[in-house]
Amino acid sequence: MSSTPTRPIYLDYAATTPVDERVATVMQRYLTVDQLFANPASRSHMSGWQAEQAVEHARRQVADTINADPREIVWTSGATEADNLALTGFMRANRARGRHLITSIIEHKAVVDTAKALASEGVEVTWLKPGNDGCITPTQLREVMRDDTALVSLMAVNNELGSINDIKALAEVAHQFGAAFHTDAAQAVGRIELDVVAQSVDLMSLSGHKAYGPKGVGALYVKRDPSLRIEALIHGGGHERGMRSGTLPTHQIAAMGEAFALAQQYSLEEQQRITHLRQNFLNGLQQIGGVFLNSPADNAVPNIINVAFDGVEAEPLLMALRDIAVSTGSACNSASVDPSYVLLGVGIPRRLALASLRFSLGRYTTQDDIEHTLHVLAHAVDGLR
Ligand SMILES: *Cc1c(COP(=O)(O)O)cnc(C)c1O
């Protein structure tokens, strides 16, 4: 028997992570009148220079996490903006290279909706369909590459399934055909190895709040290469080498830098701990019966576990879980519930997609959390069947 926990159990780390205490401590240094609150773009006084130093320190921390040069990091408001800047900024700046964009049907909405918007301004989009392991293969990509393909955008880790794309192999195919390669790595930081040089990535989207940093900050890695131009979407003071204007939020940026430095430092140990919790959770689910794993059994990050409970609808199950924060990938419209486009995209039948929940584990998940969740789940599923 597991004891009743004192706070709600949080198993939704793929939606957002809490800010690590050590990160929050750093963040607090850049806000009030006695601190380094100055505008990092102020060049006429010491306070401004100190704020700028904090921003540049964080730029190096983020760059180090992905083996980039600090000059290749462009701060944004999150991975959503980074995805928009990568796709739209690149396609607009490189009209001469071609008007063909390749992506997949299970990308995050920040990529899917941006690609759709680009289609309405004359970009031709090819939508790849992954296998049921959630991956796009290099062969599949090679088959749709064209002379006028300017950009390929495929995510590193899928946010609903946890599936991992071989971005190195995919980037190589893109390059063979003279196209640039973008990857959304929001879910990958601290979970898989990221190395923009070894993986030959040209553009990479990052988010602070998926890696124990704050919400509202992210970055786009833009490879330093004269042939890699990006047109700004936000115009203003010419910050970030003209690619993204706006006063830099020193506290957010310093915090994201610290969070990424911690991710680099702790990821292996943390991943082993979470892999162990995942195994215990999967074993427990097995006991419930009629449970299907939507996430690939291997080649997936251990913290994301997407499962279908046959014969149960996800919405009432979610209600029955009360104090346990998990998510369905479904979208609630005015009249009905649409199953997750990602689950349908990897061939999960509609019936099972509507019976699916995503459990995502993280830094503060304990064995007690897992046991309590399994206990509540067993009762809830029983009651609903
Ligand atoms: C969360 C997430 C985003 C959006 O990031 P924000 O920083 O919240 O804008 C984009 N892509 C993936 C894969 C994500 O998981």
CATH number for the domain running over 9-19+267-384: 3.90.1150.10
Summarize pLDDT for 323-370 with one digit per residue, the tens. Answer: 999 998 777 666 678 899 999 999 999 999 999 999 999 999 999 999
User: What's the average model confidence in pLDDT over 170-191?
Assistant: 98
Beta bridge partners of 199: none
- Domains in the chain: boundaries: 9-19+267-384, 21-262
Q: How far apart are CA 156 and CA 165, in angstroms?
A: 5
| Catalytic residue selected from 332, 366, 367, 383 | 332
Query: Identical fold at 9-19+267-384 and 21-262?
Result: no
> Has residue 143 got a pLDDT over 60?
yes
What distance in angstroms lies between residue 286's CA and the mean position of ligand 1's atoms? Answer: 31
Banded model confidence at residue 268, pLDDT cuts 50, 70, 90:
confident
The residue assigned the tokens 């162990």 is 276
Q: Which atom of ligand 1 is nearest to the CA of 157?
A: 13
Question: How confident is the prediction for the chain on average, in pLDDT?
Answer: 95
Summarize pLDDT for 230-248 with one digit per residue, the tens. Answer: 999 999 989 999 999 999 9
Kindly report the length of the chain.
Answer: 385
Q: Which atom of ligand 1 is nearest to the CA of 217?
A: 7
What distance in angstroms lies between residue 374's CA and the mean position of ligand 1's atoms? Answer: 28
Q: What is the DSSP code string of 296-350?
A: -SSSB-TTEEEEEETT--HHHHHHHTTTEE-B---EE-SS-EEPPHHHHHTT--H
Question: Which of 210, 252, 256, 341 maximizes ligand 1 atoms within 8 Å of its Cβ, making it the mutation to test the pocket?
Answer: 210
Distance between first and last Cα of the chain: 23
What dihedral angle (degrees, nearest 10) is formed by the CA atoms of 83, 67, 299, 144? 50
The residue assigned the tokens 């939704």 is 12
Structural fold of domain 21-262: Aspartate Aminotransferase; domain 2 (3.40.640)
pTM over 0.75: yes
**Could you tell me the two tokens for 241?**
């080498």
Other CB atoms within 10 Å distance of the CB of residue 299? 14
What distance in angstroms lies between residue 4's CA and the mean position of ligand 1's atoms? Answer: 32
135 given a catalytic annotation: no
| 360 in contact with ligand 1, CB cutoff 6 A | no
What distance in angstroms lies between residue 158's CA and the mean position of ligand 1's atoms? Answer: 10
